[in-house]
Amino acid sequence: MGYKYNSVRSTIESDRVSGFKNSSYAVAEVLDNSIQAGFRTKKNNCEIQLIIVEEKISIGLNNFDRISKIIVADNGDGMDVETLSKALAKGEGINKNEKGHGKLGKYGFGLYMSSISQCRRTDIYTWRNNKFLRSWLDIDEILDPKNGREEVPVEEIKGLPEDVIKVVPKINADHGTIVVWSNLDLATWKTGAGLFKNVEYEIGRIYRYFINDEKIKIHYKLYKKISEKNYSLEDENFVRANDPLFLMSNTICPEPWSKKPGFATCPDEIIDLKINGKQHQVKIKFAIAKEDFRGIEESHGSKPWGQLARKNNGVSILRSGRELELNSSWNNPSEPRERWANAEIHFEGNNDLDKLFQVTNNKQYAMALHKRDITEKADNTNKTEPGYLSLLEESDYPEYICTKISQKITSRLNALYSSIREWRKDKGSSRNGIAGSAEDTTTKAREARKKKTKADEALEAADKNTKLKVMIERLISGGMPKIDAEKLAIMSIERNISTVITTEEINSPIFFDVKIIEGQYHIIINKSHPAYLDFFNLIEKESSDKSMNEPSSDRAIKLMLSSWASLEDEAISDEKEYSSYLQDIKIRWGQIFRDFLNIKEK
């Protein structure tokens, strides 16, 4: 008796909307099968080819380059008739009962669900000892109202079809499997241009531990179909690891960090638990960016590796070494510095833990693993946090474990974030002399000014030591340690920076004040003004992790205040009465600004 498609005729169209995030995750399901097949051969590693075929396709009156086939080929143990019959039958996969590294499968839906989520036609070719078998799933064939296919077809063939051989040289004469997706009506991949970067980012992250340990090699190839018998190889590469913890070497991280770790390891958290009388363990790994990775004098947030860190920011959840998802619930998207610390949750795939963490059948989520607000939950039950945890342990053990994991991650990440914030404290002030800073821009604007002011003349007349002394005093008044103030002042004077922006307590309703001393602009933002806490301080934090090449609210506000300083400077030189008006306006504006911020909603 043949294996049926489990009466999928009435459900296959709805099954196609199976929740795969994109084509990378659907392909990952097929790669899981290939990896498991490779591990069954007991070899030290398995080799997989991921092949994309692109050709001209007519759409309306025009021809466009489109991906026409996605192929996954492996050197695994191949399949016999029984196994192949189950491969495309819904829920009949053989990998769901495997253990160890082979335990990547889950519910037996993988190949069926991933295939129909991307294409209308799937062909499988498999062989052992030169005996070739073929099977296929064709949605239109299944849905044929007259002769709809119900059983999975399996037939013996003489060898691989010529069009397959053209792009997939037989990688093992003894055993192997090739999966071919065609008629790709739902695939997110449309053209081959730039595809490898996307594949490497997603696939390289999902399988990073297997790739890093050299247990698997994924060989990517892009072919362009010229004619029925002619294919041109356009691109090929081996997929490298993409490590969100930046602890691996030989990864996709841009130079100079591709060959060396950019983060440093932190102590692991181990959580032991017992389910149905069996002992299990969950490991949580942490890492924090090295100083030269995140930037010393200036943040490296806009550097290529800084951008990758932002893109990879999130708690990675791994099941049997294979990533399920990059969970962002622990991260604050408005805090760019959080990219410099990350965490990973590791657990083995088995029925107990899969159920506990609610692992979905497409292996893209562990639904129960996310950040919990334990303070709010404790308040809602009128208990202290320890009391709430005790209640959970007695009444809802799965939720207790997930809450405990959430607590560990939140506590440890907050400590790492705090370390990063302290490390960056006062670093923003060192941007004083950096090209493109507000101070640097104001200085250049003064130099370019055709009509010189009295302040310009005083700046030119003042000797270097006097200007240095004045700047150091101002920076120390703004709260900067003496050693840092001296270092920054020396650098600024050497670069002819003539503007200093600091924050100080001012016993006045003004939001900022301007002092011109020895020709230097000293712009002082009032830390006592409500706008500092509610507005400017937040802007400083938002901008602290950006380079001068990135748009910055902090820089824009400082330039606005610098332009006012320039206005006062010009007014003092030209019209003393006008200058007095400006002082009155500045004070009154600060009062109105303060009153607006203090208005409470009724």
Q: Quote the pLDDT of residue 533.
A: 64
Q: Quote the pLDDT of residue 558.
A: 85
Q: Is 354 helix (H, G, I), strand (E, B) or coil?
A: helix
Distances (CA, A) of 75 to 43, 82, 170, 266: 10, 19, 9, 38
583 residue type, one letter: Q
Q: Take residue 473 and report the two structure tokens written for it.
A: 């005093």
Contact predicate 446/516, CB 8 Å: no
Q: Quote the pLDDT of residue 590.
A: 79
One of 3.40.50.920, 3.30.565.10, 3.40.30.10, 3.10.620.30 is the CATH number of 8-238, namely 3.30.565.10
Q: Quote the pLDDT of residue 230.
A: 92
Q: Quote the pLDDT of residue 573.
A: 67
Q: Quote the pLDDT of residue 545.
A: 58
Transcribe 452-497 into DSSP letters.
--HHHHHHHHS-HHHHHHHHHHHHHHTT--HHHHHHHHHHHHHTT-
Burial class (CB in 10 A: 0-12, 13-18, 19+), 38: buried
Transcribe 395-434 into DSSP letters.
H-HHHHHHHHHHHHHHHHHHHHHHHHHHHHTTTGGGGGGS
Q: Is 448 helix (H, G, I), strand (E, B) or coil?
A: helix
Nearest alpha-carbon partner for 133 in 176, 70, 90:
176
Q: Rg of the Cα trace of the chain?
A: 32
Q: How far apart are CA 258 and CA 520, in angstroms?
A: 44
The residue to which tokens 């990073």 are assigned: 208
Question: What are the sequence ranges of the domains in the chain?
Answer: 8-238, 263-423, 428-598
Q: Quote the pLDDT of residue 422.
A: 63
Cα atoms found within 13 Å of the Cα of residue 134, Cβ hemisphere only: 12
Residues 6+ apart with CB under 8 A from 94: 83, 86, 87, 105, 108
* Residues β-bridged to residue 52: 70, 222
Torsion angle defined by CA atoms of residues 357, 360, 363 and 369, in that order, rounded to the nearest 10 degrees: -30
pTM as predicted: 0.71
pLDDT, mean of each 10-residue run, the chain (602 residues) = 62 80 90 88 83 88 90 92 88 54 51 92 94 95 86 92 88 86 94 90 96 94 92 95 96 96 93 94 95 84 94 96 95 88 96 94 91 89 89 93 95 86 54 70 87 88 90 82 82 85 83 89 84 65 60 80 86 70 82 72 39
Enclosing H/E stretch for 570: helix 553-574
Q: Quote the pLDDT of residue 592.
A: 84
Interval 156-204: pLDDT, tens: 999 999 999 999 976 777 899 999 999 999 999 999 888 999 999 999 9
Q: Quote the pLDDT of residue 580.
A: 76
Q: Is 313 helix (H, G, I), strand (E, B) or coil?
A: coil
Nearest alpha-carbon partner for 2 in 107, 150, 179:
150
